[in-house]
Amino acid sequence: MLFFQPLLNRVPIRKLFLLIAVSLLLPTISPAFDTKAGGFRAAVVKVDITPEGHQMLLGYGARRSTGVYDKIYHRIVVMDDGKTQFVMVSSDICVMSPTEYDKVAARLSKELGIAPVNFWWTLTHTHSAPEVGPPGLPELFMGERYRHKFDSDYTEVVERKLIEAVREARNKLAPARLGVGWGLSNANINRRGKGVDGKAFLGMDPDGAVDRRIGLIRLEKADGSPLALLGNYPIHGTVMGGENLLISGDAPGVVAEYVEQQVGAPMLFINGAAGNLAPIYSVYPSPQAGKLHQFKVLLGDKVIAANKNLKATTDQVTLKSGGITVETPRKEGLGWLPYLSDYTRTTKAGVNLVRLPVRFLHINDDIAIWSAPLELFCEISNEVRDRSPYPYTFYYGYTNGWLGYLLTEAEIPHGGYEVTVSPFSPSAGKDLTDAVVNHLQGKK
């Protein structure tokens, strides 16, 4: 009673009892105000983008589809930590111009208020999917493939379905949990074959550099049931070659569909540094000849195993996005396309530079994801991962456009196809690696 004595001297007894009653109630009602509006939420949407008619396919020489082997999709995940809302889109498309990404990013910003830094659009790199938007840099290297106009109607369908799906996913946001882990698959192989003269060609090099890690992020509903998987693995979508005229997601699409059937939730297949990595069965004339179904076992079952081995998830999630622009000299004598002017500049000394937009997503203190509009050689992403202070460092390739192959300096003297479709000078690999590692080490 000594504690209340000063109050008794100043406060009428009825008011005192009221104060005591309210104080006793506060612990009971305070959790309602200790809001988890900042708690982690997520949602996923999968939408069919298979065209109704025949389309020009992208990935080999100019050719028109004659039918559909399997459907192609947008798969969209939206994550929200209460401060940052992040949109991840994986589409069964080969490559696209950065200007196509810029166009859709501008629409998302205007219509939904999503900042471009929080919108990543990554492509699975299947070579059996339709063109979307203008060709971009490939027009500079392989103009003979692009003498036709791209289908603006189909492009508009792809854009509209993406934006509608993002809107739907935002409306479906619900409490969620996140986990991360690694897996391993031997479904890929270095494709830079070399002859006795040291010259490279598109073949197989079992002794060449490779990256066979699966980087897996799992999203769960609040009750622990599966919501979505984000599976990151580097592999060309080239099980089927240029003779194939059927629309297909190729190995990435088949693997994603299979995993979804087994797990019961959508899987975003996110390609990695696949610039010099092919599927172990590559460029066959048909799905049957290329044993496309076997990738369900070679890669799909490995994703499922990684998911089973991922034991811990959390609802305490913080998202931090950002980006840098890496400038590196352009290959000598190479021209440029006017509508890609935002991706180059010339110094006062007359040096032409390529301007590479690199994005980052940091999840809590242990996950760092970086992306670039590149067909990157795996040695570069391997080195970044080895030097990163984050235990889980993933590279998301073919993201927000395509600005060509980026090789290591050691591989350039061997020549080969990739050198002919690269706009970069030999220093680009080091320039990119140093910039990304410096960012990651500085953030940590």
Taking only the tens of pLDDT, the chain with its 444 residues reads 333 333 334 444 443 333 334 333 333 332 322 334 459 999 999 999 999 999 999 999 999 999 999 999 999 999 999 999 999 999 999 999 999 999 999 999 999 999 999 999 999 999 999 999 999 999 999 999 999 999 999 999 999 999 999 999 999 999 999 999 999 999 999 999 999 999 999 999 999 999 999 999 999 999 999 999 999 999 999 999 999 999 999 999 999 999 999 999 999 999 999 999 999 999 999 999 999 999 999 999 999 999 999 989 999 999 999 999 999 999 999 999 999 999 999 999 999 999 999 999 999 999 999 999 999 999 999 999 999 999 999 999 999 999 999 999 999 999 999 999 999 999 999 999 999 999 999 976
pTM above 0.85, yes or no: yes
Structure tokens given for 390: 């984050």
The C-alpha atoms of residue 254 and residue 251 are separated, in whole angstroms, by 5
Tell me how far apart the terminal alpha carbons of the chain are, to the nearest angstrom: 53
The C-alpha atoms of residue 283 and residue 182 are separated, in whole angstroms, by 28
- 114 by DSSP, 3-state: which? coil
> Residue 390: how many CB atoms within 10 A of its CB?
19
**Strand 119-123 and strand 85-91: pairing?**
parallel
125: alpha, beta or left, given left = phi > 0 and alpha = psi -120 to 50? Answer: left
Instruction: Check if the beta carbon of residue 59 is closer than 8 Å to that of residue 94.
Output: yes
Residue 282, pLDDT score? 97
DSSP structural state of residue 207 = T
The C-alpha atoms of residue 238 and residue 236 are separated, in whole angstroms, by 5
> Residue 430: how many CB atoms within 10 A of its CB?
14
Which residue type is seen at 279? P
